[in-house]
Amino acid sequence: MSNQDYYETLGVGRSAGDDEIKAAFRKLARQYHPDVSKEEHAEEKFKEINEAYGVLSDSEKRARYDRFGKEGLGGMGGGSQRDYTVDFTDIFDELFGGFGFSSGRRSRKSPRRGRDLQMQVTLKFEEAVFGVDKEIEFSRDETCSHCKGNGAEPGTSPVKCSTCHGQGEVRQVRQTFLGQMVQTATCPTCNGRGEMIASPCKTCHGNGLERKKIKKKVQIPAGVDVGTQIRLTGEGAPGENGGPQGSLFLVLDVQPHQFFKRRENDLVLNLDINVAQAVLGAEVDVPTIDGDEKLKIPAGTQPGKVFTLRNKGVPYLRRKDRGNQLVIVNVAVPTKLTKEQRELFEKLAESLGTTVKPQEKGFLDWLNETLGG
């Protein structure tokens, strides 16, 4: 061990960061811990890993080691002294939690926050744009109204578990080469509650909770979109041992609109105009999310022309302004003509001639450039 290279021991490079070093130590500690590994030299290997981590996890020791090697660690817990102080509290809790190692964990009787709940809420397109007060209905566990949450039938009380003496866990002290280790496990008698109920509540059957349907009106802000989450603090599952309730997360879905497409906070509308309107120009009524608006179509408007209606889009969350509405013009070519219309188009065709002109870019190329696609 005297010639070991600490970086090689942990399998990391000399430029490794603290997180990488800690991750490497965890991996190797899990592999070579004597209480877990069946390899012949696991204990010796674990000591080497511990020694390397004790130096490389300490910025001052590591700096001296990088500059002077082990000789530079004299008096600092390195080299021949082998005083490598490592805080195993979180390491063993993370690595060996499944094996029951403990070093002063929080009591099972401590207050615990309730778990979070989640539900999907579907909105109409206009509700997502303008916001709405939405009534929702969901189910959650609540403290039993009959037994007030202690699980015992009124007039009786839970009694302390005789196996764990109210702790909710049983412990066994083990002696290892690292010193005394406390092995803990959930009490098999009371399942971790620390109490036994002789006469269970007839409503909740000793669970302390009853399922209830909750109706609540929620304010949905303007400008939300598919996937937006709204957190309702204190509307989740009840806490344990006097802990606070969890939260309810609303995950929003939005129904599509018949005409409008949403691009972030802009609305896109495809609008058909006829050939005469495109050639001669016109003033047309355009649907917006707020109602019809007048739009002036200039003479000679080409298919794919995009007009912008300012502040006719979706409101920004936590801002007062809105996006725009983009109106993409499509020139509708008639497929059925009256006799009079055909005669007029034939005269127009004679005057325009039959010459065609190739374009460098097509309509779709131009549209993609215009919309940033």
More confident residue, 30 or 235: 235
Domain spanning 261-371: CATH superfamily: Urease metallochaperone UreE, N-terminal domain (2.60.260.20)
Query: What is the average pLDDT across 34-41?
Result: 74
Kindly tell me if the per-residue pLDDT of 73 is higher than 80: no
Closest among 82, 30, 32 to 61, alpha carbons compared: 82
**Average pLDDT of 139-161?**
86
Question: Could you report the per-residue pLDDT of 202-213, keeping only the tens digit for each?
Answer: 888 888 888 889
Residue with tokens 């206009």: 126
**Model confidence at 337: pLDDT above 80:** yes
Higher pLDDT among residues 334 and 134, named by residue:
134
E-strand ranges in 156-241 read 159-160, 169-176, 179-186, 195-196, 209-220, 229-232
CA–CA dist 156, 152 (Å, integer): 6
Distance separating alpha carbons of residues 236 and 346, to the nearest angstrom: 72
Q: Are 65 and 76 in contact (CB under 8 A)?
A: no
Name, of 39-53, 154-168, 192-206, 313-327, the range with top average pLDDT.
Answer: 313-327
Alpha carbon distance 75, 73 (integer Å): 6
At residue 120, φ and ψ (nearest 5 deg) are: -95, 140
Average pLDDT over residues 143-153: 85
pLDDT level of residue 77 (50, 70, 90 thresholds): very low
10 Å CB burial of residue 98 (0-12, 13-18, 19+) is: exposed
Q: Above 80 in pLDDT, residue 349?
A: no
| Spatial CA neighbour of 282 closest among 271, 268, 290 | 271
- pLDDT confidence of residue 366: 57
Identify the CATH number of the domain defined by range 6-86.
1.10.287.110
DSSP structure string for 206-230: TSSEEEEEEEEEEEEPTT--TT-EE
| Average pLDDT value for residue range 71-96 | 51
Lowest mean pLDDT among 17-21, 175-179, 353-357: 175-179
247-300 pLDDT, tens digit each: 999 999 999 999 999 999 999 999 988 888 888 888 999 999 999 999 999 998
Domains of the chain by residue range = 6-86, 261-371
Least confident of 77-91, 127-141, 249-263, 332-346: 77-91
- Residues 304-316 have pLDDT tens digits of 899 999 999 999 9
Q: For position 217, what pLDDT does the model report?
A: 93
Averaged over 59-80, what is the pLDDT? 71
Categorise residue 287: left if φ over 0, alpha if ψ from -120 to 50, beta otherwise.
beta
For residue 360, the model assigns a pLDDT of: 66
Calpha distance 327→4 (Å, rounded)? 72
Digit-coded pLDDT (tens) for 155-178:
888 888 888 888 888 877 766 655
**What's the whole-number average pLDDT of the chain?**
81
Residue 160 confidence (pLDDT): 86
What is the pLDDT averaged over residues 361-365? 59
User: pLDDT band for position 367 (50/70/90)?
Assistant: low
